Amino acid sequence: MTAEPRTRMIEAGPEAIAAAADCLRAGGLVAFPTETVYGLGADATNGPAVARLYAAKGRPAFNPLISHVADAGAAERLAVFNDDARRLAAAFWPGPLTLVLPKAPGCPVSDLALAGLDTIALRVPAHPTAHALLAAFGKPIVAPSANRSGHVSPTTAQHAMGDLRGRIDLIVDGGAAPVGVESTIVACLGTPTLLRPGGVAREDIARVLGQSLESDETPDDDAPLAPGMMTSHYAPKAALRLNAREPREGETLLAFGPHAGAAMNLSPGGDLIEAAANLFSHLRALDAAGARAIAVSPIPRDGLGEAINDRLARAAAPRR
């Protein structure tokens, strides 16, 4: 896929679904309708594709993304469900409810899509075009709103084209999104907690659970569990030193660009998309290898470099 593809628009139907699934398999970006708003889809298991999605949106930091799946069975292969989560899934899926759950062992969704967290946000959309695409593709699709970061969420294919023309590969036009606001997000990590209001009312969720729904009181600078919350993400156990030209004694080097002898390299060729795709997995790998201190090479701040540097600065911040 080229960095600036020609963006095609195809009316929803079997031809569009086949073209969209092929595009996703090739690592491309596809805007498609859900019942809430139009989503910008990428293969959730393909780190470079997810990195291209962030670049297309101009997203300023790596917020966790919602993984869309075809049904509850597919969701249970990606996450650990408790009784509350199963009740909510049975009541509101398919539909505009996202559940945040512990990710399952072996979950194939990329670390970048999860923002390095050990939780995953999941939804089964109700829109027939979205359902058909998920069935044809056969894997989870991350799909934040199909607009530039900070812009109004799109409810038509024309909105998506106006924001993303030349930045994505394909738009499937399925008419106006009927709900028009994003999904409600509920964390089921203990007591069910409302993280974001949306297309399913709090009262309806509480009725299914048989209890009132707590609201998230997380301070802005703590780790988010879902899109739309302040960004502070997975940090390794090792201390990080940023903008390091060479490692000091006792440090492990996480390089960027050509560098002989580095323990790991985000992108030997200096490609920011590759670096973004590797960021969280490389930090986890260095943790697993027992690194006590990590020196990180300088990374340019243009394009995705801004988000990479933002993430690294948060990971390097003093622990509380």
Model pLDDT for residues 47-70, shown as the tens digit of each residue: 999 999 999 998 656 789 999 999
* Lowest-confidence pick of 36-50, 69-83, 216-230: 216-230
Q: What is residue 76's predicted lDDT score, i.e. its pLDDT?
A: 97
147's CB contacts (< 8 A; 6+ apart) are: 40, 57, 153, 154, 159, 160, 163, 164
Rounded average pLDDT over 190-205 = 90
Q: What is residue 218's predicted lDDT score, i.e. its pLDDT?
A: 55
pLDDT band of residue 124 (cuts 50, 70, 90) is very high
pLDDT band of residue 221 (cuts 50, 70, 90) is very low
pLDDT band of residue 13 (cuts 50, 70, 90) is very high
Q: What is residue 60's predicted lDDT score, i.e. its pLDDT?
A: 57
Give the predicted TM-score (pTM) of the model: 0.82
Q: What is residue 219's predicted lDDT score, i.e. its pLDDT?
A: 44
Residue 320: pLDDT over 60 = no
Residue 255: pLDDT over 80 = yes
Q: What is residue 7's predicted lDDT score, i.e. its pLDDT?
A: 97
pLDDT band of residue 225 (cuts 50, 70, 90) is low
